[in-house]
Chain A
């Protein structure tokens, strides 16, 4: 939230006319930042936590957290107990532990020891030499080290095996790792049979552990950052350098992940499959981020906070809670990891992922041509769709924030009748729709003329990572709405002159008004957006605005294409949330501006502080100037000096993360003014007027901010009117925004005088 505010402020200062797409983009940024505490939301959504009011769960407030924590104490306790039992059974007392006491490997033991061996397995404590006992004791709580200590013995066995294999190679043209009848010692084989299940289990556990470890080691490093930050509170920079400390914390995290994966693999028939580790790691990361955010929310410790931290975001129970969440997600997703042909979920037989995706393309997109084309490719859709679905598209989008946004969206659809897999298959169909222009054979162009990386197969197998996930979400929304309402769009007809365009961005249904649970969002029924953006229908506009709507007309702005599709209930809800956040952004900017002046006035005599401030201020101004000249996007600004500036200038301010209502926000501004010496009052004295004179630029800046913000809001209102939004929440948010801005302006007018 903080960074969005500062970005927005910077934009306002550096651009002559910020234009509506800027404010919209900031609103959307803010909106996407709304999904705080997503680990809790996911658990609510998947039924792991009970929430009385589902509506509230879409917008987690901290007060809501308390209600959830309070309601779910027993449920959480049971979940944690359950995991504790499983971990005890599979992980802490895994078969490796009992087998380690069996000093006699079947291959070495004679038939006479058979009984003894069997007994040893059952009663590890009673048998074995003192040395073995010691081994068992030291490693009792860590199967990994059991395995490590067992490595030595395994090597010996391996050597034996190798010898045997050499014999086999000599005897048969084709080596076989199974027992060769001519080579096997009969006695040993008998023993092997007795103990083989135990040993098989041990080796299979070891194999699972090996592969889990290998996969976890290869997790991209940004998966570990939040864990490390939580542990040490040091910056990202240090992690990339992979200090010893970071390495240690990475290992620690991997150990926790490995435990969950191992227990899951042991508990479920499917076992461990590559890819699960990434799903789990994201879940873990969501939980970690939530913990960090909650800890940062600057609350005085009290009973409420304790309960929330105990029940919902407990660093000691992260393994337990993440297992429950992982288990719940995998109960749907594990089908995608299945090797065999027949897939069943919720009692019904499912189509294979690839087939299901094509069905969605045909039925709910109406694009038979595309589906047929895909199914006739050399590469069956199964190959790439499986990968997308298994990882829940996490490798298909850039940056973990995008992954989380996408998952929020996917899980948002999950309900009694819609399974996660349905949503993911729909998303897979959407992915194909997004590249249809690139893969459908273009007219006049022979497929064989194409470069390698333009071949459909290549595009689908090496799908470029999406930087902007909004187009994908738009299509998913549309297809999901079609499925929910049973609306089958007419067959897509491509004209012979079909050339790629952004047509797929446009909604092609919109024939029926979409109904929310109890609200019809569009009173005027079907909305034909193509007419909305005709020049003539729009009110007179200044040039940048006109340019903007021309962009709209030509579908050049991904943000706008999102907005154009806000006829779906969830999208509309998001917009109203976004506006609420927009209020917070503006509020934050305004508050910062006030604090800037306030703190200057208060620290007037503390020369050193002023100097620090001036130094960093001039630094920042230079950057702003250079961004003027070179037209460099502000995102590329040097963050460090900018943050430095912020830290000095807004040190006394209190971040109000809680998205309180507008009136509260206004009050809090007024409060903060009076508490730090009345802003208006101070400026009226002669000495302070002199002080202000030394900071004219700051005041100019703030007045610029308020002025341009006013423009933005006006344009936003026009835009919302033009798309016929009929949601009272959206409008009240907007008028709140306007009121706040006017408030700001009047204050600055006083200051100017």
Chain B
């Protein structure tokens, strides 16, 4: 049994945290030392296949292919009037900070605020501490970040786009969590709006309903 659907994911975080590097590692499996700064936003898509143990009919694992629409936003675009465009219809937000840059970690709170204000309701959050290959220059202790993530009730991963550590895992995790998230009944009018606007997310919704 194979299912396919598209999932919009936004990458958020301060400038230089490594959002574009994560996106490029995930989509093209490559890494540039000098990546140009993102202006506005860029867009990638990639399909991955995950296996999910079906909880109800626990006989066989479901093969699910998920098409990711990755929106990589510019760090400075936080307050742009267009920024809500990026969040609209998103299924997951990856909040990236640089473990060697304390301010980028401190800024996570304000990113959460923005998401709370403009993001969709059933958004999955993942906190990602990038550049974990530079452990010697670490400014944010792992424990601190873990505590923070725990309090925010979201997953925490430490990644390295350069050494390809945990990048694929971010998306695997998102994909695995998708059904539960999407299955939540959305009574919110704004959400209904979103689904109408975003064809691909509507198809997720339909299929998830059948699936359950």
Which of B74, B152, B197, B199 touches A274 (beta carbons < 8 Å)? B74
Are A458's CB and B43's CB within 8 A? yes
Interface size on A, residues (CB 8 A): 45
1/0 contact string of B19-50 vs chain A (CB within 8 Å): 00000000000000011111111111101000
Residue A663 at the B interface, CB < 8 A? no
Distance, CA A177 to CA B75, complexed state (A): 19
CA distance A458 to B36 in the complex (A): 19
- Cα–Cα distance between A283 and B38 once the two chains are bound (Å): 20
Q: Does B85 contact A (CB under 8 A)?
A: yes
Residues of A within 8 A of B81 (CB): 339-341
Q: Write the nearest CB–CB distance from A462 to chain B, whole angstroms.
A: 7
Q: How far is the CB of A709 from chain B (nearest CB, A)?
A: 43
Q: Please judge, given known A-B contacts A273-B76, A339-B79, A383-B40, whether A458 and B45 are in contact too, CB under 8 Å.
A: yes
Q: Does B151 have its Cβ within 8 Å of any Cβ on chain A?
A: yes
Return the contact of A383 from the options B35, B44, B85 (Cβ within 8 A).
B85
B80 contact set on A, CB distance < 8 A = 339
B34 touches A217 (CB 8 A): yes
- Given A383-B85, A395-B36, A452-B67, is A166 in contact with B147 using a C-beta cutoff of 8 Å? yes
Q: Which residues of B from 85 to 118 have beta carbons under 8 Å from A?
A: 85, 102-103, 106, 109-110, 112
Task: With CB as the reference atom, state the residue of chain A lying closest to B141.
Answer: A162
Q: Is the CB of B147 within 8 A of A169?
A: yes
Residues of chain A within 8 A (CB-CB) of B109 are 175-177
B55 at the A interface (CB under 8 A): no
Q: Is A128 an interface residue (CB 8 A)?
A: no
When distances are taken between beta carbons in the complex, the residues of chain A under 8 Å from B37 are 214-215, 218, 274-275, 277
Q: Are A387 and B34 in contact, CB atoms less than 8 angstroms apart?
A: no
A161 CB–B CB distance under 8 Å:
yes
Q: Is A226 an interface residue (CB 8 A)?
A: no
Q: Which of A272-294 contact B (CB under 8 A)?
A: 273-275, 277-278
A176-B35 Cα distance, complex, nearest whole Å: 32
A461 & B34 in contact (Cβ 8 Å cutoff)? no
User: What residues on B are CB-neighbors of A174 within 8 Å?
Assistant: 112, 151-152
Interface residues of B in 185-203 (CB under 8 A from A): 197-199
Assess whether B147 is in contact with A274, with CB atoms less than 8 Å apart: no
Which B residues lie within 8 Å of A380 (CB)?
82, 85
Question: Roughly how many angstroms separate A158 CA and B147 CA in the complex, as a whole number?
Answer: 17
B152 contact set on A, CB distance < 8 A: 174-175
- Distance to closest chain B CB from A34 (angstroms): 30
Check if A158 sits within 8 Å of B74, measured CB to CB: no
| CB-contact partner of A387 in B39, B45, B144, B198, under 8 A | B39
Q: Which residues of A contact B39 (CB under 8 A)?
A: 274-275, 387, 390-391, 395
Give the A-B contact count at a CB cut-off of 8 A. 96
Q: How far is the CB of A220 from chain B (nearest CB, A)?
A: 6
The answer for the CA separation of A173 and B150 in the assembled complex, in Å, is 10
Residues in A whose Cβ lies below 8 Å from that of B75: 211, 274
A44 contacts the other chain (Cβ, under 8 Å)?
Answer: no
B47 to chain A: closest residue by CB: A452
Provide the residues of chain A in CB contact with B16, threshold 8 Å. Answer: 211, 214, 218
Contact with B151, one of A175, A220, A384, A391 (Cβ below 8 angstroms): A175
Question: What distance in Å separates the Cβ of B21 from its nearest Cβ neighbour in chain A?
Answer: 11
Q: Which of A1-30 contact B (CB under 8 A)?
A: none
Interchain CB contact under 8 A, A169 and B148? yes
Asked if A386 is at the interface of the complex by the 8 Å CB criterion, the answer is yes
A165 CB to closest chain B CB (Å) equals: 8
CA distance A174 to B144 in the complex (A): 15
Report the nearest B residue to A214, measured CB to CB: B16
Given known A-B contacts A173-B151, A274-B76, A386 and B36 have beta carbons under 8 A apart: no
A253 to chain B, nearest CB (A): 14
Q: With the chains together, A214 CA to B76 CA distance in Å?
A: 12
User: Is residue A382 within 8 Å, beta carbon to beta carbon, of the partner chain?
Assistant: yes
* Smallest CB separation, B203 vs chain A (Å): 9
Q: In angstroms, how far is the closest chain B Cβ from the Cβ of A272? A: 9
Given the known inter-chain contacts A274-B39, A339-B79, A340-B81, please indicate yes or no for A214 contacting B34, CB distance below 8 A: no
Asked if A457 is at the interface (CB within 8 A of a chain B CB), the reply is yes
| B148 and A175 contact, CB distance less than 8 A | yes
- Indicate if A541 sits at the interface (CB-CB under 8 A): no
- Chain B residue at minimal CB-CB distance from A447: B199
Task: Given contacts A176-B109, A274-B38, A339-B79, list 14 more A-B pairs with CB under 8 A.
Answer: A166-B144, A211-B16, A217-B34, A220-B34, A274-B74, A274-B76, A340-B81, A382-B85, A383-B41, A383-B85, A387-B39, A452-B47, A453-B45, A461-B41
Can you list 14 contacts pairing A with B, beta carbon distance less than 8 Å?
Answer: A155-B102, A166-B144, A215-B15, A217-B34, A218-B16, A221-B34, A275-B37, A341-B81, A378-B199, A386-B40, A387-B40, A452-B45, A452-B47, A461-B43
- In the A-B complex, list the 8 residue pairs whose CB atoms are closest, starting with the nearest: A461-B43, A387-B40, A214-B16, A452-B45, A275-B39, A274-B76, A339-B80, A215-B37
Interface set of B (CB-CB < 8 Å, partner A): 15-16, 34-45, 47, 67, 74-76, 79-82, 85, 102-103, 106, 109-110, 112, 144, 147-148, 151-152, 197-199
Q: Which residues of A contact B (CB under 8 A)?
A: 155, 158, 161-162, 166, 169, 173-177, 210-211, 214-215, 217-221, 273-275, 277-278, 339-341, 378-380, 382-384, 386-387, 390-391, 395, 452-453, 457-458, 461-462
